[in-house]
Chains A and B, each alone.
Chain A
Amino acid sequence: MSVLVDHFDVFVGGFWLTFQLCILSAVGALALGALVAVMRISPVPPLRWIGTAYVTVFRNSPLTIVWFFAAFGLPALDSNADFLRIPGLSSIFSRLGIDLPYFRFAVIALSLYTAAFVCEAIRSGINAVPPGQAEAARAIGLTFGQNLRYVVLPQAWKSAVVPLGSVIIAMIKNSALAGFFGVVGELSNSAQNLTSALGEPIIPVFVGVSIGYLVMTVPLGILLDRIEQRRAVAAR
C-alpha cells in the first residue's frame, strides 16, 4: 500500500482534476436540464417536441457514444469547443483554457448526457406539485413564466432535490471515462499511469482511486439523506 503514500501527489492531482470536471459539468447539466424541463412542459408545442427529442436521444444513448461524438464529432466539425474558454473561469479551472480541447469535450459530453436525467428529475418534481397550485396561479393572471418562477418551481425544487443529487452522484462516477477520451491526469487516468508506466501494483492503486471518488460522492449522499430527513419531519 506504500504507493498511496509515495504517489500521494498523483492521487491528489487526479482528484483535483476530476473534481473540477464534475463541478463544471454539474453546473452545465443543471442549467441545461432545467431549460429542457421547462421546454418539455411549455405551452408551445415545438419547444415541447425539442425537449422530448433531447431527452429521448441523450437518456437512451450510452455515455461512451455521447462522449465519442463530443471528442471526435466536434473536431470533425472544426470545433475545439473554444466557446468554453471563458476568460474568468479558465483562470480558476486552468484546463478549460489550454490548447488541448479534451477537458472541454469532457465537460460538454458529461453536461449533455447528464442534462437529460436532470430534466427528468426536475420534471418529476414539477409533477409532484398539486395541479391546483398552478391552476390558482393562472386564475389570478400569472403568465406561464411567472407561474413557474413564483409558484411551481419553488415547490417542485423540494421534491426534486434528492433525485437530482442521485443524478449528480452518477455523473461523478461517469466522469471516470474522461481518461479514455484524452483527459490526461484525471483520477482514473492517473491510476493507469501509475500501473502501466511506473509498474505500481494494481490493487492498491485502485483502492486509492476509489477513495478519491468516495470523498466526493459519500458527503453528497449524506447531505441528501439530511435533506430528506428534514423533509420527512416537516411533512409530519
Chain B
Amino acid sequence: MTERSDAGVVAGATTTDRPLIRLDGVNKWFGPLHVLQDVDLSVARGEVVVVIGPSGSGKSTLCRAINRLEPINSGTITFDGQPLPAEGRALARLRSEVGMVFQSFNLFAHKTILENVTLGPTKVRKEKAASVRDRAMKLLERVGIANQAEKYPAQLSGGQQQRAAIARALAMQPKAMLFDEPTSALDPEMVGEVLDVMTSLAREGMTMVVVTHEMGFARHAANRVIFMADGQLVEDAAPDEFFANPRSERAKDFLSKILTH
C-alpha cells in the first residue's frame, strides 16, 4: 500500500474514490513552445473524459503524457496512486495497464490481426498461448472482426484496423484506455463503427480519456468534457452544460466554428 492510499483509508474513503489518473501542475515544452501549462486534471475510476480543442492546443500531448510516451518537464502524473516511473521495466509494467489507441492505428505491420492482439499478453504478461488466443478471439468478435483474424493489417479497412487496435489494447485488460484522435484518420463512413465500440466500452464502465473532434460522442458518451486551448485547460464541465453554455470566449469561438457547418 502506498502512503497516499493509507491516508485515504484513514479519512474513511475507499480506494476506489482515489482518482485513477491524476495530473498536478504538469508543464511540457517543445523547445520554446509551452504545450502544457500548469495542467491539473483528475480522472475517477469509470469516468469518461473527452478532451476537445483546436489543433495545437496540447490535447494529444496531454493524452500521451499519461502513459509517458511524452515525458513532461515539470509536475507529477500519478496512475492508480503510483507516480509514473522513469523509462524502464517499471514504466513498461505501468504502460501495460493503460491501453492506448492511436490516430494512425499503429498495428504491427508484420503480424496478423490475431498476433497483434496476442503479442502483449504472451510476451508482457507471459500468459499461456491457448488462453490468450481464446480471449483475443472473443475480443475480435466483440469489435466485429473475428473473421479477419488471420489477415495482415494492410488488408483491412481503416475502421477495421482501428477496431483491431482497440482489441489489442483491451487484450491487456487495462485499467484505463487512452484514445488519441481515434477517428481522425478514418473515412467518414467508418467513423461510426469505431465510435460504437468506444461507446459500448464507456457503458461498461471503462475509464477513458478520449481526445477527439467527434462532438456527438462527447455529448452522449462523456461524463466530462475538457476544453483545451494554448496548452491550458480552459473548461471542465458536464457535456450538456459545456455545449449549451460554454463559459469562455475561446470555447464559444471554437464551438461556433465547428457547429455552424
- Give B149-201 interface residues, CB cut-off 8 Å to A: 165, 168-169, 172
* Cβ contacts under 8 Å, B105 to chain A: 132
Given contacts A139-B69, A140-B95, A143-B92, contact A132 B106 (CB under 8 A): yes
| Residue A146, interface by CB 8 Å | yes
From B100, which residue of chain A is reached at the shortest CB distance? A139
Bound-state CA distance A169–B112 (Å) is 34
A140 touches B120 (CB 8 A): yes
Size of chain A's interface in residues, with CB distance under 8 A?
18
How many contacting A-B pairs (Cβ < 8 A)? Answer: 66
* Cβ contacts under 8 Å, A137 to chain B: 108
B96's partner among A43, A135, A136, A141 (CB-CB below 8 A) is A141
Best-surrounded residue of B104, B120, B168 (most CB of chain A within 10 A): B120
Least Cβ–Cβ distance between B140 and chain A, in angstroms: 16
Least Cβ–Cβ distance between B233 and chain A, in angstroms: 24
| Residue B257, interface by CB 8 Å | no
* Cβ contacts under 8 Å, B169 to chain A: 139-140
Least Cβ–Cβ distance between B191 and chain A, in angstroms: 20
* Cβ contacts under 8 Å, A146 to chain B: 123-124
From A139, which residue of chain B is reached at the shortest CB distance? B100
| Residue A138, interface by CB 8 Å | yes
Bound-state CA distance A209–B92 (Å) is 56
Bound-state CA distance A137–B168 (Å) is 11
Bound-state CA distance A141–B165 (Å) is 15
B92's partner among A130, A133, A142, A151 (CB-CB below 8 A) is A142
* Cβ contacts under 8 Å, B104 to chain A: 132
A135 touches B106 (CB 8 A): yes
| Residue A155, interface by CB 8 Å | yes
A136 touches B108 (CB 8 A): yes
Cβ contacts B97-141/A at 8 Å (1 or 0 each): 111101011111110000000011001100000000000000000
Cβ contacts B35-48/A at 8 Å (1 or 0 each): 00000000000000
Bound-state CA distance A150–B168 (Å) is 15
| Residue A62, interface by CB 8 Å | no
| Residue A154, interface by CB 8 Å | yes
Least Cβ–Cβ distance between B27 and chain A, in angstroms: 22
Question: Please, could you name 21 A-B residue pairs with CB atoms under 8 Å apart, sorted by A?
Answer: A43-B87, A130-B106, A132-B106, A133-B106, A133-B109, A136-B107, A136-B165, A136-B168, A137-B108, A138-B69, A138-B95, A139-B67, A139-B98, A140-B96, A140-B168, A141-B94, A142-B123, A142-B124, A143-B89, A151-B108, A155-B110
A-B interface, 9 closest residue pairs, ranked by CB to CB distance from nearest: A141-B96, A136-B106, A132-B106, A140-B120, A139-B100, A141-B124, A141-B95, A141-B92, A143-B92
